[in-house]
Amino acid sequence: MHKKRKIIHLSIWVTVLVVSLSVYFLVPKYFADDVYPLKYTDWIVEYSTKYNVSPSLVAAVILQESRFNPKAASGAGAQGLMQFMPGTAATMAKETGHWPKYDIFDPETSIEFGAAHLRDLLNKYNNNVDQALAGYNAGTGTVDRWVGLNIFERIINSNSNSETVNYVKKVKHYEEVYRTMYATQLGMKDMTKIELRATTVDQTTAQVRGFVWTQLFNSVFTLPKN
């Protein structure tokens, strides 16, 4: 009788282990698209290729800026998928040949402006992604001042809760996810000539799984603020 109970207990633990592992490995596959959505893939690939920017970076900026909402508008006046201020949008319209008629809320237009703007920033900062992203968020004046004072690396790699530091970290985090999870959809395997990073990050499905679980945990256990 005792031996039978031990076998039952062992069977229960094995079942629990199998179910737990199944949940750990399979749940992210079902929720990844909700946590890290991807839309407008054709335009992201088209304009990333045109302006020689990684499509995973463009997708990551869109996620951070608007979560793929083409009608997004901030209180500061930024608009569209990639959240352009009117002045910057006008500059990009002239640069890309859309001046004077353009609609910044048009997804294709915003994606082209965003890819072109990211390429301008990467050119300005010698393909330094951190500086380019900081410039996208805070403006090149701020980045130039930090670089000039030789404090940029110290600031951007700090534990500061500043908007720009968090922005750079989040976009790079998202870019890793898109590079890993959507490599095929974004045509990443065919864009081996694009040089975007100073160092190559080893992408694994384990990273994506960890990212998704973190987001799911935060979504479930973080109470909304009143």
Find the CATH number of the domain harbouring 186. 1.10.530.10
Give the mean pLDDT of 62-77.
Answer: 96
- Is residue 51 within 8 Å of 116, Cβ to Cβ? yes
Domain range for 83:
36-192
Question: Is 31 a member of any domain?
Answer: no
65 flagged as catalytic:
yes
Per-residue pLDDT of 168-204, as tens digits, reads: 999 999 999 899 888 899 998 654 444 444 333 344 4
Question: Is 18 a member of any domain?
Answer: no
Question: Is 14 a member of any domain?
Answer: no
23-37, 57-71, 139-153, 189-203: range with lowest mean pLDDT: 189-203
Among the listed residues 65, 112, 175, 176, the single catalytic one is 65
Q: Give start and end residues of each alpha helix (H) in the chain.
A: 2-35, 41-50, 55-66, 86-96, 107-124, 129-138, 140-148, 152-156, 163-181, 205-221
Q: Is this prediction's pTM over 0.85? A: no
Question: Is 26 a member of any domain?
Answer: no
Domain count, the chain: 1
Burial class (CB in 10 A: 0-12, 13-18, 19+), 219: exposed
- For the chain, the average pLDDT equals 83
